[in-house]
Amino acid sequence: MTSSDENSDESDETDDSHEHDHSHDHFDREHSERDEVSDPSIAHDGSVAQLSVPDMDCPSCAGKVENSVSKVEGIKEIEPQVTTGTLTVTYEADITSTEAITERVEKAGYTVKNSDEVTEKFSVPEMDCPSCAEKVTKALDNLDGIATAEPHPTTGKITVTYDSATVTGSDISAAIEGAGYEVTDTTAQQGNKDNSESGDSIWRSRRAIKTWISGVFLAGGLLLEFFLPGENIQVASLLGSDLVLADALFLVAIALGGHEILRNGYYSLRNRNLDIDLLMSIAILGALVASVAFGEGLYFEAATLAFLFSVAELLERYSMDRARNSLQELMDLSPDEAVVKRNGGEETVPVAEITVGDIVVVRPGEKIPMDGTVVDGESAVNQAPITGESVPVDKSEGGEVYAGTINEEGYLEVEVTATASDNTLSRIVEMVEDAQSNKTEREQFVERFSAYYTPAVVAFAILVTIGSPYLLGTTWPTAIVYGLTLLVLACPCAFVISTPVSVVSGITSAAKNGVLIKGGNHLEAMGEVDAVAFDKTGTLTKGELTVTDVIPLNGNSEDDVLRCARGLEQRSEHPIGEAIVAEADGASVAEREISDFESITGKGVRAELDGTDHFAGKPGLFEELEFDLSHVHATTEGGVVTDTAQSLCDRHNCLDLLEETVPELQSEGKTVVLVGTDEELEGLIAVADEVRPAAKQTIARLQDLGVKRTVMLTGDNERTAQAIAEQVGIDEFHAELLPEDKVTAIEKLTDEHDGVAMVGDGVNDAPALATATVGVAMGAAGTDTALETADIALMGDDLGKLPYLYELANDANGVIQQNIWASLGVKAALALAVPFGYAPIWLAVLAGDAGMTTAVTGNAMRLSRIRPPEDSGAETISSGGSHR
């Protein structure tokens, strides 16, 4: 789409002229300005490693990893992303390496998942006994790059996880066959396609099983201690303290439920990271020491902590995976394999092996695997996964298609134009992942606050433990329990996670609905916008000229007028001429023989049609041919006079073109072209850049949602700008602007309002987009420049998505505030209640930790339910030929 930045010195004639000397009128000017803006260059300072750390799923985990990695010399920047389980590290390659960074992550107690890791299942029917399985496993032990090999003799299969950069599936098959067993089939799955466990697997994991068994022993101890005291016999003595059967059961519960906690606490202590794992480890060990050394009998409290916190960790992992899966849905849009035409036939290959220029075959109901151009076939394609369009788009030869979209009904052959790692879907996924690095102001505040919160609560725990026996008259065992409870509340996990999980939910929800938000800071800023500026051409209008009115004169019909106009214009490359030819083609009017074509500079064109001179152009051209334009006979039979042109004389059914018809059409933002011979004026054609069907509804909806001011910035002339502004309901407009004038207008708006959004085409409006608080690019699917220049991109050419974006951003800001204050409020209330005995330790674990983490995650996931309206104004677009 083009954007309107027309040359002001020609604007006075734009709507009442038809120039065919190909000078730079307003449409030509728009096209030339698009090319003046080049892609911004991005300077990279240092090497960047992105590691997958799936178990890094909470702020304390991220802090532990960050502290460990920061000890490596040559590290410049560390960005842990809890919501995706990834760690991005910028480092100096001549000082350190990815291997050194990976080692430090593992020393913090976390496993780095290899992005090249592949899990493949091999069918080995003859491997039907344990000795066979052992033989195959030993054969694989001799290969480098094998991570795990799990044989299943009962099914005749072996599952192998390996580094694809070191060893291949063919190498593994050869090794198995070298052991004497035939491989009949293989299935591969990229390790990075599934970084997160399913909800079911989390609850059946090794830690979950240990947790459930821990709960059984805890329940047994509770039963003996409180309901069957007669059976609670002494079983041992520790340092002079009696150990009863219930205490023994509690100790087993601690060993099972607290194993992972104490392990993680060790790594936290080793990296000097005061996080929840270290605090819980101190609480559990503190209770045990008090029980054994001082006879305080806090085995029950320690077991309760171990079990409940382990449950809390599982809940947190489950909640986090729900957020991660929202992004995984984007990744799963593209199929893993595709049918490619090669060597005179068709073969199915992994998408990673498809190269630019290959021809892929897409049958009805299949996903399109790669970006490309249709070279054969016709079909309707559901582009909703990429652009959010609710209506399938017709595709034919020459049409552009995107990976992840769905072929609805026809057969297509697509020539690949981008590799799997560089297609539109891959760029969207990459930008959504990167968006989490751009922290919102609230997120930065939370991180600063949390740095003081934990030490403050730990200090408060020490004061309560020491002071409550003296000030509140509590016993020492009770004081110790109070202190342990406050240690549980000292980690602000739910508080810290409240913002990023909301940002991830909002950004991924937007991406699935065709809106790409390139950072949490832009999502936050969009929700605080109270003024929106729009470009005109290609934004509020379609950016393509179309015929709006055909007025036959002097007994001619509409077909007669279009037939002559098409003959005159078909040799013209001017946008107005192209619009007339397209209209005539659509009306299927007969062709005329054309010869002796001539462009009349600044006025119009002349040509012989079937041997007779004909003209098309400005009203001024026909005045020079000595026509009386104030007294022209209108066609009342055999043709249709439009409502906008029914200004008839009192006598003889005449039109006054100069004083009434032409000015009235021009007041509606239309350009007028007259058609005729040197003896007869045959008709009038009005051409305009049509307003988008969604424009008026979009402006009204934005105003209903709270936008205080809407402004149109255009290079078009005053008259056209006023007509469009009135038609769509814009509050104010500024016309005849150059690109630098748009920047000045945006700067003035930002001085008057807290937040200003600029909506344009993302190319020639780049300076204004960059100046606004938030820049929103229209129709960015497949357009590299638009994806780079804007803060937010509407992937489809649908202006109706703008109110959805504004509503989503507002709701996201509301959810973030709710999460922050709810998590902080619950923690504060529990902490203040502890010294007075109103907050038992189990409540601190369940409500203060697991409960709030689950609650803020669930609240954030509500954003995924916000959808753009089905009737947002999207138009059915045909791709592959001309479309209007």
Strand ranges of the sheet holding 117-123, from the earlier edge strand across to the other edge = 146-152, 157-163, 117-123, 185-190
Burial of 859-884, coded b for 16+ CB within 10 Å and e otherwise, reads bbbebbebebeeebbbbebebbeeee
Strand ranges of the sheet holding 47-52, from the earlier edge strand across to the other edge = 47-52, 86-91, 75-81
CA distance 69 to 88: 11
CA distance 283 to 587: 82
Query: With contact defined as beta carbons under 8 Å apart, do 574 and 20 qualify?
Result: yes
Residue 174 per-residue DSSP state: H
CA distance 17 to 617: 7
CA distance 73 to 416: 44
What's the start-to-end Cα distance of the chain, in Å?
12
3-class secondary-structure state, position 424: helix
Length in residues, the chain: 884
Non-local (6+) Cβ contacts of 181 within 8 A are 124, 126, 127, 132, 135, 136
Non-local (6+) Cβ contacts of 305 within 8 A are 258, 280, 283, 284, 287, 484, 488, 841, 845
Residue 539 per-residue DSSP state: I
Q: Which residues are catalytic?
A: 535
CA 695 to chain centre: 23
> Which of 414, 398, 400 minimizes the C-alpha distance to 362?
414
CA distance 87 to 89: 6
Cα–Cα distances in angstroms (integers) from residue 642 to residues 224, 558, 560, 657, 662, in the given order: 94, 11, 16, 14, 13
Burial of 526-554, coded b for 16+ CB within 10 Å and e otherwise, reads bbbbbbbbbbbbbbbbbbbbebbbbbbbe
Question: DSSP strand E in 124-191: where?
Answer: 146-152, 157-163, 185-190
Query: With contact defined as beta carbons under 8 Å apart, do 20 and 617 qualify?
Result: yes
CA distance 267 to 578: 70
Query: With contact defined as beta carbons under 8 Å apart, do 630 and 658 qualify?
Result: yes
Non-local (6+) Cβ contacts of 348 within 8 A are 337, 338, 339, 340
> Which of 673, 732, 597 minimizes the C-alpha distance to 15?
673
The number of CA neighbours under 13 Å toward the Cβ of 195 is: 31
> Which of 490, 499, 466, 501 minimizes the C-alpha distance to 480?
466
CA 308 to chain centre: 36
Cα angle 875-879-881, degrees, rounded to a multiple of 5: 120
CA distance 665 to 645: 8
Question: DSSP strand E in 335-442: where?
Answer: 337-342, 345-350, 359-362, 372-376, 379-382, 393-395, 400-401, 406-407, 412-416
Q: How many CB atoms lie within 10 A of CB 520?
A: 26
CA distance 242 to 472: 29
The number of CA neighbours under 13 Å toward the Cβ of 133 is: 15
Instruction: Look up residue 617 and give its two tokens.
Output: 């152009």
